């Protein structure tokens, strides 16, 4: 296989580079756990109400290098009292080469958080268990679906903004 392709005038021209993804580092950027009503909350017979929040931030670190931070916040309330609040910022550094802008945006919005989520899930589970509460395992998240819905909403908002 060669690195060049013939062109009409006989000169050789480099072929387009194939797209590549390289996971350079995965790490916990921040983690916190609070049980503001402990130890009394352990005696409360009420039914727990769990609320999950996901957030993602992308930062460009250099040419073709991005830090993606997935923030997972889990809040458990019993009645009107907070039993616990666990939050993890799971981050990764990704090298992304050879992607056009729409595909790059898609990779940052789907592949990267999908890669980070199992690490964040494990960290959240450990925090909850170490806090003295029953084990909690976050269910898998379909980031492809979340991204598609986000793009659909954005496309609907743009015509409305243009008309205003």
| pLDDT digits 0-9 by tens, 96-136 | 999 999 999 999 999 999 999 999 999 999 999 999 999 89
What CATH number has the domain bearing residue 138? 3.10.420.10
The verdict on residue 22 lying in a domain is yes
Domain contains 4: no
Q: Which residue has the higher pLDDT, 144 or 17?
A: 144
31, 103 in Cβ contact below 8 A? no
The total number of structural domains in the chain stands at 1
Report pLDDT digits (tens) over 31-45. Answer: 999 999 999 999 998
Residue 7 lies in a domain: no
Instruction: Transcribe the chain into DSSP letters.
Output: --SEEE-TTS-EEEPPPPPEEEEEEEEEEEEEEE-TTTTGGGG--SPEEEEEEEEEEEEEEETTEEEEEEEEEEEEEETTEEEEEEEEEEEEEEEEES--HHHHHHHHHTHHHHHHHHHHHHHHHHHHHHTTSPP--PPP--HHHHHHHHHHHHHHHHHHHHH-
161 in a domain, yes or no? no
Q: Are the C-beta atoms of 97 and 67 separated by less than 8 Å? A: no
Quick one: pLDDT at residue 1? Answer: 45
* Least confident residue range of 11-25, 52-66, 72-86: 11-25
- Count CA within 13 A, CB hemisphere, residue 97: 9
Sign of the four-CA dihedral 131, 133, 139, 142: negative
pLDDT at 78: 95
Whether 13 maps to a domain, the answer reads no
Does some domain include residue 29? yes
Q: Is residue 88 a part of any domain in this protein?
A: yes
Q: Is residue 57 in a domain?
A: yes
Mean pLDDT value across residues 54-79: 97
Provide the residue range defining the domain that includes 102. Answer: 18-152
**CB 132 within 8 Å of CB 35:** yes
């Amino acid at each position: 296989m060669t690195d060049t392709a013939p062109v009409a005038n006989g000169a050789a021209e480099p072929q387009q580079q194939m797209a590549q993804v390289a996971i350079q580092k995965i790490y916990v950027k921040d983690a916190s756990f609070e049980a503001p009503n402990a130890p009394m909350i352990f005696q409360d017979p009420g039914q727990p109400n769990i609320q999950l929040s996901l957030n993602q931030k992308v930062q460009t670190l250099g040419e073709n290098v991005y830090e993606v931070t997935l923030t997972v916040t889990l809040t458990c309330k019993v009645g009107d009292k907070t039993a616990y609040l666990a939050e993890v910022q799971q981050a990764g550094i990704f090298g992304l080469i050879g992607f056009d802008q729409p595909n790059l945006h898609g990779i940052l919005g789907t592949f990267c958080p999908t890669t980070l989520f199992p690490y964040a899930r494990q960290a959240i589970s450990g925090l909850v268990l170490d806090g003295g509460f029953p084990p909690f395992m976050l269910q898998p998240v379909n980031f492809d679906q979340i991204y598609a819905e986000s793009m659909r909403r954005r496309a609907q908002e743009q015509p409305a903004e243009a008309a205003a």
